[in-house]
């Protein structure tokens, strides 16, 4: 009978080829980091997160805003507008500068919404995913936003969600980050069921007729100033009042 055993070098070659092929395939399958809950390695960030947890333990949180630095800055450039529109509504600002969708997912799992039952959650997140290097594609960012909406629905089943389109950024629509945000908005708009989840894109309110984003509204072409926050509050006010059941 003929000896069918392969020489050792042939076996080694076959195994090596298989391992290299598997590695190549794995390299092409990139995990969607936008849906991975993860904290930030930042003491300041964790301290703010814990302040949120302590705040919600006090109750009286009928309205919550969830997001990144644009939401965070209701405490800065938007401070007076916040007092005018939201202070009387027992509103809580759950925005942290620099956050991406994965950071928000982690915070929602670690106390930011524990023990509360808001009437409404206003959510805007994703521009830092686009701005991160390398830029995350719109499809991944949309998956992160979807995960946040699903987590809110699971943890706060009686809370309505007003999902805002990511605000425009950059001088005009030639800006790659604005293009990513616009494409993301086209995808996340489909998350609305108009029963518990509602979508609203107020981005055009910030733009001139030719699509230019003025520095008189967003000086750094990303973050609103006081004028920008006034535009934001007035644009969502009809939806906020309706969804909170106000007359």
- State whether the Cα torsion 230-233-236-238 is positive or negative: negative
Catalytic residues: 69, 220, 223
Q: Which two tokens stand for residue 223?
A: 């973050």
Spatial separation of the C-alpha atoms in residues 67 and 61, rounded to whole Å? 16
Which helix (H) or strand (E) segment holds residue 67: the answer is strand 63-67
Sequence-distant (6+) residues with CB within 8 A of 126 are: 100, 101, 141, 142, 144, 145, 166, 181, 184, 188
Identify the burial level of 14 via C-beta atoms within 10 angstroms of its C-beta, where 0-12 means exposed, 13-18 middle and 19 or more buried.
Answer: exposed
Residue 195 CB: number of other CB atoms within 10 A?
Answer: 7
Judge contact between 95 and 68, C-beta under 8 A: yes
Judge contact between 243 and 198, C-beta under 8 A: yes
Spatial separation of the C-alpha atoms in residues 104 and 22, rounded to whole Å? 33
Give helix 101-109 / helix 43-57 axis angle, nearest 10°.
Answer: 40
């Amino acid at each position: 009978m003929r000896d069918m055993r392969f020489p050792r070098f042939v076996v080694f070659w076959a195994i090596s080829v298989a391992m290299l092929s598997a590695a190549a395939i794995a390299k092409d399958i990139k995990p969607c980091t936008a849906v991975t809950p993860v904290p930030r390695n930042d003491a300041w960030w964790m301290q703010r997160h814990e302040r949120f947890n302590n705040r919600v333990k006090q109750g009286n949180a009928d309205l919550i805003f969830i997001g990144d630095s644009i939401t965070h800055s209701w405490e800065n450039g938007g401070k007076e507008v916040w007092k005018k529109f939201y202070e009387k509504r027992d509103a809580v600002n759950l925005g942290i500068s620099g956050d991406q969708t994965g950071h928000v997912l982690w915070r929602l799992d670690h106390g930011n919404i524990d023990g509360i039952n808001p009437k409404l959650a206003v959510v805007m997140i994703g521009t830092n995913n686009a701005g991160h290097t390398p830029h995350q594609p719109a499809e991944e960012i949309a998956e992160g936003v979807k995960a946040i909406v699903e987590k809110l629905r699971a943890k706060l089943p009686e809370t309505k969600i007003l999902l805002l389109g990511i605000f425009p950024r950059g001088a005009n629509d030639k800006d790659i980050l604005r293009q990513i945000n616009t494409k993301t908005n086209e995808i996340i708009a489909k998350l609305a069921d108009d029963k518990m989840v509602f979508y609203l894109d107020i981005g055009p309110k910030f733009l001139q007729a030719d699509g230019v984003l003025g520095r008189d509204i967003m000086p750094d072409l990303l973050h609103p100033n006081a004028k920008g926050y006034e535009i934001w509050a007035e644009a969502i006010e009809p939806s906020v009042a309706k969804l909170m059941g106000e007359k």
